[in-house]
Structure 1
């Protein structure tokens, strides 16, 4: 039997530090990336909330909007560990010890699990959706809350790096 494919829609601004992600896998999913506009302040923090404003992660950006430190639950790591270089993209090691890799293509990013298994695709695709206008969609074939969060954090950083040429 083929695995189920779940859809998450990226609404709000097309800015990886201000995403509103909504959809459903085995349950409803709502994830918000919020970054205050501080106008010249050297320290910027992106806070990630799930569902009913439950704080699940954050990015503490280094001065000049460079990669700083990430917190995922009680785990702290350099943001660069979520976008480590690989031969074909950028990879991260999940809390489960497995290595996952986001690989960019023209207007999408593909997520691969160990064994070169394709488990997700994020597509930049403006469209009308059941939740209103969206600028992107993530289609994925796994049901694991922490892996989904880590994947979205890594995707956010991949998009940020690619948009800003870092």
Structure 2
């Protein structure tokens, strides 16, 4: 657990941050303004072309932060932090990359598995990737047939989230190259519950990584 400098938060007014919730609770109400019940807060701007060292934020501040370090033995490790209140983050995932820089293993919640399990190729659909969510159901990232979006479909084919590449836009917090959209009420309406939301964020990062390196 680390503390986030106040400079990470770019809100125009000082929001109220209630006590931190259990990071794997199904109750997201304690995340307060960061996950407020309006469409603007369901869209996270995503900095950096390399998602392994990036932040995802909305008008209230940073919600997720990927931080990559190199261990003394030369291994790269990416940690995903989630804000739970002002100046406080919880670690929700750790990604240990292979020695050659490729896919290694990921620890998410209390589960350890190969990264490849979260970006399984689906030969039926070009550039699609499958993973099983913490709810036990299968999800699929795939290119949209209508635009440049990468959409996330649930087990019934309903789009519950999407990554939208954008033109590079400069913010105080960093240059933004895309947006991660969560469709709060789509499907079973659970995409913004922390265990699923965390997994969506991790798999979106891995999808972007695999696409960038043709893995």
Return the TM-score normalized by structure 2: 0.66
Aligned to 1:100: 139
| Offset, 1:107 | 3.5
1:163 aligned residue = 212
Say if 2:108 is the partner of 1:66.
no
Counterparts of 1:5-44 in structure 2, within 5 Å, are: 5=39, 6-11=42-47, 13-23=48-58, 30-36=63-69, 41=74, 43-44=75-76
- Correspondence 1:147 to 2:180: no
Inter-partner Cα distance in structure 1 for 2:38 and 2:150: 19
Residue 153 of structure 2 is aligned to residue 112 of structure 1: yes
Offset at 1:37? 5.4
Q: In the aligned structure 1, how far is the partner of 2:172 from the partner of 2:151? A: 24
User: C-alpha displacement at 1:131, in angstroms?
Assistant: 6.5
* The structure with more strand, counted as a fraction of residues: 1
Question: Rg: which structure is higher?
Answer: 2
Q: Kindly tell me: are residues 133 and 45 of structure 1, through their superposed partners in 2, closer, same or farther at Cα, counting changes over 3 Å?
A: closer
Structure 1: 5+ residue stretches without partners:
none
Structure 2 unpaired stretches of 5+? 1-36, 185-191
Q: Is the 8 A contact 2:46 2:54 kept in 1?
A: yes
What SS does the aligned partner of 1:62 have?
A: coil
Report how far residue 128 of structure 1 moved: 5.8
